[in-house]
Amino acid sequence: MKKIALVVLLLFILSACQHMQHRVTLKDQTFLVELADDAQSRAMGLMYRKEMADSEGMLFIFPDSKPRAFWMKNTLIPLDILYFDQNRRLVSISENTPPCKNTSTRCPNYPSAKPAKYVLEINAGLSQDYGFTTGDELIIELKK
């Protein structure tokens, strides 16, 4: 009987953990996001991913606000890269950013138009589909 109770408790905990995901909302569109908030996770980003649901993304959080430039080395899917300032306002978008397939030379950079503290990567084309524009506010919900 104790084993059954333990299994039920573990299943309950695991199901609760699945709902404890980080979320961001931009212009009434919510994305479940993975965090890239340290040097290692920011360097890895979405490399080697073969697909990502339209309801998902990756949120990069930097310790400061400054001009940022992203590249698509080893990234297999095209992305929209959205740059946000320290007030979580959208300052620029790199739309339909293609994967870098050239391994013999350096991949191109896609810089922010202004300093950015937050960067959101989502599937290519969604920024246009949802009508994201500069000045839009990003709402961030981080779960512990």
**pLDDT tens-digit map of 85-138:** 999 999 999 999 999 876 667 889 999 999 999 999 999 999 999 999 999 999
Percent of the chain past pLDDT 90, that is, above it, reads 76
In a domain, 12, yes or no: no
Confidence bin at 56 (pLDDT 50/70/90): very high
**How many Cα atoms sit within 13 Å of 127 on the Cβ side?**
23
Domain annotation covers residue 72: yes
Kindly state whether residue 17 falls inside one of the protein's structural domains: no
In a domain, residue 29? The reply is yes
Q: How confident is the model at residue 1 (pLDDT cuts 50, 70, 90)?
A: low
- Determine the pLDDT at residue 14: 40
Strand partners, 84: 90, 118
Q: What is the CATH number of the domain that holds 118?
A: 2.60.120.1140
Number of domains in the chain: 1
CA dist 22 → 102, 105, 133 (Å): 33, 35, 23
